[in-house]
Amino acid sequence: MVKSAGTAKPQGGAAELSRGFGWLAVLGVILVAAGLVGLVYTGVATLTSMVLFGWLLLIGGVVGLLHAVQARHTNFFWLGVVVAALNIAAGVVVLRTPEAAAEALTMFAALLFLTGGLFRLVGSLVVRGPQFGWTLVQGAFGLLLGVLVLATWPSSSQYVIGTFFSLSLLFDGLGLIATGYGGRRIVGMVSDRLATEEAERTGERPAVKPVQPE
C-alpha cells in the first residue's frame, strides 16, 4: 500500500509536467499560425500591432498612475505621475490614429537600422576583430534595410511593422514548439529511466514493448 502510493506520485507529476509541455507546444502552433497569417495580411497585422501597442501604453499608464498615487508621500510621486500621464496620452493617440503611429514607428525603425548599420559597418572596418566578416555583413544589411524602408516611406509603414510583428510571432511560436516537444521527450526519458530503476530495485522485470513483425 505505502510502496504503491510512493510510486504513483512521481508518475502523476511526470504526466502533469508532460501535459504542461504539450500545452506549450499547442501555444507555439497558435503563434506560428498567427505569424503566417500576419505575413500574408501585413496591413491587418500592422493595424493589430498598433492597437495592441496603444492598449499596452494605456494600461501601463493607468497602472503607473495608481502606483504613483500609492507612493504620493515619496520624492518620486510627480515623476511617476508625469511618466504615467505621458503613457496614457501616447496610448490614446496611438488608438485614435493607428496609421499615423505606424508611420512614425516605421520612420523610427528605419533610422535605427541606418544608424545601427552605419556604426557596425564603420566599427568593423576600424576594429577588424575576429568577427569582422559577420559584423560587416550585419552592418551592410542594416544600412540597406534602412535605406529601403526610407525610400518607400510612408507607404512602407503599411507592411513594415506588421512584417516584424508577424516574424516575431512566428519565431516565438517555433521556439515554444521546440521547447514543448523537447520537454515532453525529456520527461518521457526520465520517467522510463525511473521506472526501470524502480523495477530493478524491487526485483521486477520492466515492461518491454512487443516488437511488431515486419
pLDDT band at 163 (very low <50, low <70, confident <90, very high): confident
Residue 213 pLDDT > 60, yes or no? no
Domain ranges of the chain: 15-202
User: What confidence tens digit (pLDDT) does each residue in 57-103 have?
Assistant: 899 888 888 888 887 777 777 888 888 889 889 889 888 888 888 88
Rg value, the chain, Cα = 27
Length of the chain: 214
CA 105 to chain centre: 19
- Position 155 scores a pLDDT of 79
Is the Cβ–Cβ distance between 35 and 169 less than 8 Å?
yes
Burial status of residue 181 (CB atoms within 10 A of its CB: 0-12, 13-18, 19 or more): middle
pTM over 0.95: no
Question: What value does the mean pLDDT take over residues 32-54?
Answer: 87
- Position 48 scores a pLDDT of 86
